[in-house]
Amino acid sequence: SAMLYLVPTPIGNLSDISERCREVLAQADFIAAEDTRVTLRLLNHLELKKPLVSYYEHNKAASGPRIVERILAGETCALVSDAGSPAISDPGEDLVRLCAEAGVTVSAIPGPCAAITALSMSGLPTGRFTFEGFLSTTKKNRAQHLDSLRAEQRTMIFYEAPHKLCATLRDLAAAFGGERRISLCRELTKLHEEVLRLTLDGAVAYYETQPPRGEYVLIVEGAPKQQESGPVSEEEALMRVQALLA
């Protein structure tokens, strides 16, 4: 029956499109795309021809309900974003909610996601992590966001555009201290893929001479665990026991 498929697309290397993504794109009645030109290039690569509708940040309020209507009328839609997994830091999130509210079945195909690709090669702890997406560009929201992360012990994942990288590194160093470790993962799956494992101060210094280029995911180490208190004096131990017995 009619439904919405979330179809992940390559974040650089076109060979990362999966067999299943091909099949779903080939079988869909239409494709909703963030930038139809970007998606046309992918469809040409796959030798597929499909009706495209645009669904992106600035038309999603009007486009979303039209897509849901078509699905309710019996058509199956494949949603793709410019790169990576739809709904992860892109407007797909809203279409999924609309579909859920309308009782439309949503199925996500697993595939490329810059955040997870970067985390797995960061060398930082992966057992517990938080995805923070893009930091706000408005000063107040950005400060609030960073403030809320000061005591965060889990590894943090950020997305950032190259022209904002230097400012963001400075803000991260100010919030977390310059000694905190960061893995800068750039141009993932592309020719110039690179991971720089530095401290926040080191990263600030590095990009003072080297203009940032390409796409970046920033993986930032969490705050150190609360230190176990060291050995206490006999006097202090006695006081603690007395306090417990009181």
Q: What are the residues binding ligand SAM (CB under 6 A)?
A: 11-12, 81, 83-85, 88-90, 113-115, 159-161, 185-190, 215-217
Q: Which residue is nearest to ligand SAM (CB)?
A: 84
Q: How far apart are CA 120 and CA 128, in angstroms?
A: 12
Q: How many CB atoms lie within 10 A of CB 65?
A: 13
Site of tokens 């400060």: 143
Count the residues in the chain. Answer: 246
Kindly tell me which of 6 and 68 has the beta carbon lying closer to ligand SAM: 6
Minimum Å gap between C-beta 14 and ligand SAM is 12
Minimum Å gap between C-beta 205 and ligand SAM is 22
Kindly tell me which of 114 and 149 has the beta carbon lying closer to ligand SAM: 114
Minimum Å gap between C-beta 246 and ligand SAM is 55
Q: How far apart are CA 42 and CA 2, in angstroms?
A: 24
Contact predicate 163/134, CB 8 Å: no
Minimum Å gap between C-beta 223 and ligand SAM is 23
Q: How far apart are CA 199 and CA 15, in angstroms?
A: 33
Contact predicate 220/158, CB 8 Å: yes
Kindly tell me which of 161 and 241 has the beta carbon lying closer to ligand SAM: 161
Kindly tell me which of 110 and 224 has the beta carbon lying closer to ligand SAM: 110
Report DSSP state, residue 225. P
Kindly tell me which of 165 and 204 has the beta carbon lying closer to ligand SAM: 165
Minimum Å gap between C-beta 93 and ligand SAM is 10
Q: How far apart are CA 204 and CA 195, in angstroms?
A: 15
Minimum Å gap between C-beta 84 and ligand SAM is 2
Kindly tell me which of 160 and 221 has the beta carbon lying closer to ligand SAM: 160
Edge-to-edge strands, sheet with 77-80:
52-54, 30-33, 77-80, 4-6, 106-108
